[in-house]
Amino acid sequence: MITGAVLDGLNGRPIPSADVQLLPSGARTVTDERGRFTFRSATAGPHRLRVTALGYREALVDVPPSGAFVRVALDQAPIPLREIVIAPGQIGVLEVTPAAMGNALSRADIEAIPQFGDDAFRTLQRVPGVASEDISTKLHVRGSSERDVLVRLDGVELFEPYHLKDQDGALGIVDVQVLGGIDLITGGFPAEYGDRMAGVFDMTTRQPPAGGMRNTVGMSLSSLSYGSQGSFADGRGQWLASVRRGFLDIVLDITGTDDDLSPRFWDALGRAQYLVTPNHLLSFNLLHAGDDGRWSDPDDTGSSVRSNWSNGYAWLGWQATLGKRVRAETTLSTGRLDRDRTGSILNSDDGVFTPLFASLRDKADFSFHGVRQDWQADLSEDVLLKAGFEARRGSGTYDYSSAATFLDLDAQGRLRHRTDSTRVDMEPSDTWTAGYVSARARIGSPLTFEAGLRYDRHSHTGDEDVAPRLLARWDVDGRTVLRGSWGHYYQAQGVHELNAADGETAFSRSQRADQAAMGVERRLGSGVTARLEAYRRAVRHPHPLYVNLSREINPLQELESDRTRLAPTRSRARGIELTFNKQDESAFTWAASHILSKSEDEVDGRWAPRTLDQRHTLNLMAAWRSGSAWQISGLWQYHTGWPITAQNFDVVVTQDAGGQRYSIVRREFGPLNADNLPAYQRLDLRVTRGFDMKRGRLEVFLDVFNVLDRVNTRGFAYNLELSPDGTTLRAVRAEGEEMLPILPTLGFRMTF
């Protein structure tokens, strides 16, 4: 058996994911997070190790005949052209490389950050340019909606990748503990990413250990999880598996939620890979997620909703190195999404703002099969060519029906019952074909640029889109980097994205975003990096939006009287982001940012702020570590209040056919998003205590969400006061619809 570790020759830090080849047999493995590797079945005789890692020079090391532990020190080297971070707004998370400069968060950083549910999406909610709500985990990048962001796992797009969709997607379907890397691109992205116009959220699974097996058990008030990783065939094969079961119903009970809400969720992920030859790697992945939600309102005479959601994906991958200059990656994928919702309302207290009675039946599914092929060729040390294509066949079924009855007045001002109904029964399908080509070149040592062209065609809308893109990077000196991008970004409405609940039966044409970004990044010393970035995005043909103007969240939002269709003619977003990060080996690290931004839709000839428009946003983070025993961290965020649409009330006195007098309260809404909520503030804390054990490590953490119990509102509630004769109405704005209060979470994570 041969064991060893790969270390940075400059600072002695372990190098994870380094490639280690045993000569002359050719057996290969990769290092784990501590930089360690193992060859368990090495034959007798002299051996050499060939070790390579991104950002380091290749090393050849003789293995001592005594079988002693082998330490390999690698010298840092210029990063290959294909690995240079050229896109503005790109942030690397978890297992990061030297290419990331100051825009990186390690796994230790992520595990120390206060966050509810150990969620991969929530990890990035404090990243500059990202807006989100307390409950929802969806990412709104630079004024966009969550559907404008491409979400991928190991190269495969994930559709609707959220748990608890009836609660606006409170958690992601991928456990952060199984992830090895996350790239978030909030600026212009290269031509290989397509069919989304705002950003890319690209996840990769962890690299299992080179030898043996590692297990992780975690538990908190939100979920119980178990993960296992290991290797086989003398390290040429690795596997990874994870399962998670949620307990969010308990958390909602702690927060004092009045409604009888019982959401349950689960997910499972598995991956196996095998190094067939030193240049060919095969992998197989499975991902499945499911939700079972039940809601009933005890204040009504009878209102309830039951829903079931599921996401399933499977894909086969092949990575090949063809000679010294060409790399190819092929992915075959398939998947299916299902939902089944039933609900009813029986409400004796209102009938104007909320239906007197209503019911719905919503069944839908979406399936797809696809192939993706990517090539990279190093034409020279200074020229890289990239090309690829993707083809996907998708089909879906929609079986939706609903009916809601409200109190209303007829043309003569008499009281009546008005029933609104929706029926959609469709089986749409789409064949999507896409291709791209781009060239990256280095001019001298300081300037790198990439020019690309992308083509997308969707059969269900007839769209054929051609998108040119340009990116550039200028290394001014060893401490300063300039990055810029410009391009067209198209986004079609997917077969699974039809708003059947709002009566939508036709798909919209592709949106087009023309966007540009420019940024400068500089190392200031003492581990501090500063970054300033400006961006602008203009959207043509934006897709219609369906919103609830009062901003209330409930499982039957499409049946409420404030449901409104917005049809913007144009959209735009612009902003400036200033960030400072201190990331080094010291015990204390911190980050600070200030974002000035504006995002708007043109609706009925007027520019109105978008729902999560945040004019000013401040983020502060600080973390302190005492060796491997203690970690204490805090996150504070402030942003100006979100826009809201004012509500106006009046009272109409009428009578029925029998002469009985009634007072009906009518509601009208003012100009779209012309008012603002109070400013938002929140402080979160996390304390982690680690214990090294004989065969593993135990970490116990206390996570306190909104530790100061700040009251933040997402909408206003109104108290309506009528005069004794029922002719005068006075609307008094109450404290508002509150977001989450203080929420402590105690949990543990054990690795063995």
Read out DSSP for 256-276? Answer: T--SEEEEEEEEEEEEEEEEE
In this predicted structure, what is the pLDDT of residue 327? Answer: 95
Which comes out higher in pLDDT, residue 428 or 98?
Answer: 428
3-state secondary structure of 132: coil
CB 392 within 8 A of CB 432: yes
- How far is the CA of 85 from the CAs of 369, 375, 439, 450, 551, in angstroms? 31, 18, 15, 11, 39
**Among 578, 715, 625, residue whose Cα is nearest residue 128:** 578
* Spacing of C-alpha 393 from chain mean position: 24
How many Å from the N-terminal Cα to the C-terminal Cα in the chain? 22
Tokens of 24: 């002359």
Measured distance CA(74)–CA(51) in Å, rounded = 8
In 549-679, DSSP assigns E strands to: 563-566, 570-582, 588-603, 606-609, 616-626, 630-639, 643-644, 647-655, 661-669, 675-676
Q: What percent of the chain has pLDDT over 70?
A: 90
E strand or H helix at 112: helix 107-112
Measured distance CA(87)–CA(100) in Å, rounded = 11
Q: Which of 2-11, 265-274, 393-402, 562-571 has the lowest mean pLDDT?
A: 2-11
- Give yes or no for residue 309 having a pLDDT over 90: yes
Measured distance CA(128)–CA(534) in Å, rounded = 11
Measured distance CA(342)–CA(360) in Å, rounded = 6
In terms of C-beta density within 10 A (0-12 exposed, 13-18 middle, 19 or more buried), how is residue 490 classed? buried
- Global confidence as pTM: 0.87
In this predicted structure, what is the pLDDT of residue 109? Answer: 62
Which comes out higher in pLDDT, residue 46 or 60?
Answer: 60
Q: % helix / strand / coil in the chain, to the nearest 5?
A: 5, 60, 35
Mean pLDDT score, 565-587: 90
CB 718 within 8 A of CB 671: no
DSSP assignment of 650-663: EEEEEE-TT--EEE
| Per-residue pLDDT tens over the stretch 687-744 | 999 998 888 889 999 999 999 999 998 888 777 776 676 666 666 776 677 888 898 8
Q: Residue written as tokens 């995005």?
A: 537
Measured distance CA(614)–CA(594) in Å, rounded = 11
In this predicted structure, what is the pLDDT of residue 285? Answer: 97
Measured distance CA(714)–CA(497) in Å, rounded = 25
Tokens of 325: 């200059």
Which comes out higher in pLDDT, residue 477 or 460?
Answer: 460
CB atoms within 10 A of CB 678: 13
- How far is the CA of 88 from the CAs of 11, 184, 515, 531, 579, in angstroms? 29, 10, 12, 10, 13
Over the chain, what is the mean pLDDT? 87
Measured distance CA(598)–CA(616) in Å, rounded = 9
Mean pLDDT score, 544-571: 89
CA dihedral of 429, 430, 431, 434, whole degrees rounded to 10: -160
98 confidence band (pLDDT: 50, 70, 90) = very low
3-state secondary structure of 251: helix
- Give yes or no for residue 108 having a pLDDT over 70: no
| Per-residue pLDDT tens over the stretch 478-523 | 789 999 999 999 999 999 999 999 999 999 999 999 999 999 999 8
Tokens of 337: 């999404």
Q: What angle do CA 693, 697, 703 make, to 5 degrees?
A: 130
Q: Residue 146 — φ and ψ, nearest 5°? A: -65, -25
In this predicted structure, what is the pLDDT of residue 100? Answer: 42
- Give yes or no for residue 569 having a pLDDT over 90: yes
Phi-psi region of 26 (alpha: psi -120 to 50; beta: other; left: phi over 0): left
Q: Residue written as tokens 């990575």?
A: 319
| Per-residue pLDDT tens over the stretch 176-201 | 888 888 888 988 899 999 999 999 99
In DSSP terms, which residues pair with 406 in a beta bridge? 418
- Going along the chain from its start, the domains and CATH numbers come out as 2-77 (2.60.40.1120), 83-422+430-448+481-751 (2.40.170.20)
Mean pLDDT score, 540-551: 92
Measured distance CA(357)–CA(303) in Å, rounded = 9
- Give yes or no for residue 256 having a pLDDT over 60: no
CB 188 within 8 A of CB 516: yes
CB 257 within 8 A of CB 554: no
Measured distance CA(372)–CA(384) in Å, rounded = 20
Measured distance CA(737)–CA(215) in Å, rounded = 42
